[in-house]
Amino acid sequence: MTPLEIIRLVLICIVTLVNFFFVIDLLNRRKDIKACEEIIKKNSLTFYKAFSKITNRRKREAVYAVYAFCRYADDLIDEDQDETGLNALEEELKHYIQGEKPQSFRFRALKQTTSHYYPKNYDYKPYFDMIKGQRMDLDFKGYQTEKELLEYCYDVAGTVGLMLLPILSETHDKELDAFAVNLGYAMQITNILRDIGEDERNGRIYLPEDAFRKANYSKDDLHHGKINIEFINMFESFAKKAEGYYEQALDDLKLFPDDVKLPLGLSIVLYRGIIDACRESNYDVFTKKNFVSEDKKNELIQSFLKSMK
């Protein structure tokens, strides 16, 4: 074998190895994203039904990656009361920001997202604020005022919108920030209303003290699942606030590129539908978890599609 043939053979081997490792890396990245997709599909069919409509695959999968990160943080507290796990997640986030190689599939998937959509000088404050919000549930003391409640809603939900903004829009301005935060308010208030009974049984009452005083409804009434005009008035006062945020969000869809208007709009109308589901069950948020049926979801989707024409 001549020297030239040896060089040629070595080059072929190198190219083959490079291609092999490239394929392995690609398969591993696809596996990480698939795991994130399964998380959103399992935990929120409403969001999955909406954001799976994003036609750009990379953008769609970036949403799944952010959701998986947030879901993990939420589950650490809601399901496990795992402060150690939450602290570990925060440390992993710090190491990730410093450029260390991500170890978990969540951060590997997140890296695919941030490297493509986030600016190099991106401020990860929304991620840390979200973790701070989860930590508030560990030492839950309740809220005195609506302002305090909205601060919590920002930490656990408004931040998620801010995380998604670089994915959903190439532009960045205060109007988009307001959209993200206000939609977070709406969705978290919706969660709170839907889960009043479950949360109370777990020792958490999110509705603020001043709302109880204003409605002339007591926490003892809440504990006994009392549905009366006072409770309905209190429920509706927050439901109408959430619906106001939803309406503003629908109006602000014009700020976004065409390819995300549909999935964003669907996430709004489908999540808003939870409030109506609570109403249709005669405000029984104590003995069952109200949700939007598949038939109703399809009806809301068709209605929204007509409104976009």
pLDDT in tens, 64-78: 999 999 999 999 988
pLDDT value for 132: 95
pLDDT digits (tens, 9 = 90+) for 127-164: 999 999 999 998 899 999 999 999 999 999 999 999 99
Backbone angles phi, psi at 141, to 5 degrees: -120, -5
In CATH, the architecture of 45-308 is Orthogonal Bundle (1.10)
* Domain extents in the chain: 45-308
- Of 202, 212, 152, 210, the C-alpha closest to 181 is 152
pTM: 0.88
Mean pLDDT, the chain, whole residue set: 90
Phi and psi at residue 14, to the nearest 5°: -65, -45
Confidence of residue 27 (pLDDT cuts 50, 70, 90): very low
pLDDT at residue 164, as a whole number? 96
Residue entry with tokens 């609506």:
146
What average pLDDT score do residues 280-299 get?
A: 95
Say if residue 24's pLDDT is above 50: no
**222: its two tokens:** 């809440």
Residue 16 has pLDDT above 90, yes or no: no
Task: Please answer whether residues 246 and 268 qualify as being in contact, where contact means their C-beta atoms are separated by less than 8 angstroms.
Answer: yes
Token match 């978290």: residue? 188
Average pLDDT over residues 219-243: 98
The dihedrals phi and psi of 200, each to the nearest 5 degrees, come to: -60, -40
User: Between 194 and 137, whose confidence is greater?
Assistant: 194
Given a cut of 80, whether residue 25 has pLDDT beyond it is: no
Per-residue pLDDT at 20 exceeds 60: no
